[in-house]
Structure 1
Amino acid sequence: MLSQCKVGAIVFFVSDLARSMAFYRDTLGLPVNAIDGHDGPFALAEVGGLTLVFIVQPVRPGDSPVVVFSLDGGIDDYAEALAQHGVEIVVPVSESPDGGLSLDFVDPDRNLLSLHQDAGLPRRK
């Protein structure tokens, strides 16, 4: 089902956004930008064509990072296909911090995975 997708982002839940931005920028040398999202600030960094997303959220060890698959539309179709395969959807299709749409689900070991499509793309193919 996801063979035509690419991993578009890895999401890290962090307790202190400024501290995380400083670490990834100053220690690891990545370009990091703060963004004002509709749910509050978050940050983005780029590495090797992959986006790292930093969101302030309480986190327990093992809850982060989250691998995000980028879609070119059709998120509702993917949601239905996952449900038909018995996949547990933990956050149904909803607006993501950047204004696009996302859906979160877990694999059999309860690793969190996410689908994301940019704003303005069709919900169905």
Structure 2
Amino acid sequence: MGLKPKKVSVVFYVSDIARTEAFYNQTLGLQLERMEGAEPFWLQASIEGGPDLIFFEMEGVRGNTPAIVFELDEGGIDDVVAELAQKGVNIVTPVSEAPGGWSADFLDPDGFGLGLWQSGELPRSVK
């Protein structure tokens, strides 16, 4: 099966979402869009030719933020996570509900956090 991401996002956990929004919008001139589906709202910046930047207000500790998240476009997040687990990958968060779909988190060999996200419109398993 293998990982075939549709796109990649870099996710930051920030302590103050309003402060983050002001910094990226006003100081850097990067336009962040407010998104609903998490409390409080979350922010997203789509960068042409690059990864999306996503910001959630929540406690983050060194080592779990920023995180790289791969968006799956063919469905089957349960299948991908099962395959990773069979290969000995440390699954930190099993497939669970996320804004707009499903997500799962795992670690690379050095302990860096990686994640998967899949739209809720796609099937969780294609097997």
TM-score over 0.5 for the pair: yes
Structure 2: distance between partners of 1:64 and 1:38: 18
| 2:35–2:44 CA contact under 8 A, matched in 1 | yes
The letter for the 2-side match of 1:64 is: T
Unaligned ranges ≥5, structure 1? none
Gaps of 5+ in 2: none
- Alignment RMSD, CA only? 1.5
Say whether the 8 Å CA contact 1:30–1:46 is kept in structure 2.
no
Shift of 1:102: 0.5
Please report how far the alpha carbon of residue 71 of structure 1 lies from its aligned counterpart in structure 2 after TM superposition: 0.4
| Residue deviations 1:79-108 (CA, integer Å, cap 9, x gap) | 110110011111110111x22110100011
TM-score (norm 2): 0.88
Per the TM alignment, residue 78 of structure 1 is displaced from its structure 2 partner at its CA by 0.3
TM-score normalized by structure 1? 0.89
* Residue 112 (structure 1) aligns with: 113
Measured after TM superposition, the shift of residue 63 of structure 1 is: 2.3
- Cα contact 2:63–2:111 (8 A) shared by 1: no
Shift of 1:17: 0.2
Residue number in structure 1 paired with 2:93: 91
| Counterpart contact for 2:70–2:116, Cα < 8 Å | yes
Q: Deviations over 1:12-44 (max 9, x none)?
A: 000000111111111222111222324432111
Look up the match of 2:63: 62
How many pairs were matched up? 123
Q: Which runs of 4+ in 1 moved over 4 A?
A: none
The alignment-based identity, stated in percent, is 46
Kindly report which structure 2 residues correspond to 1:38-77, keeping only aligned pairs within 5 A, or say none: 38-49=38-49, 50-72=51-73, 73-77=75-79
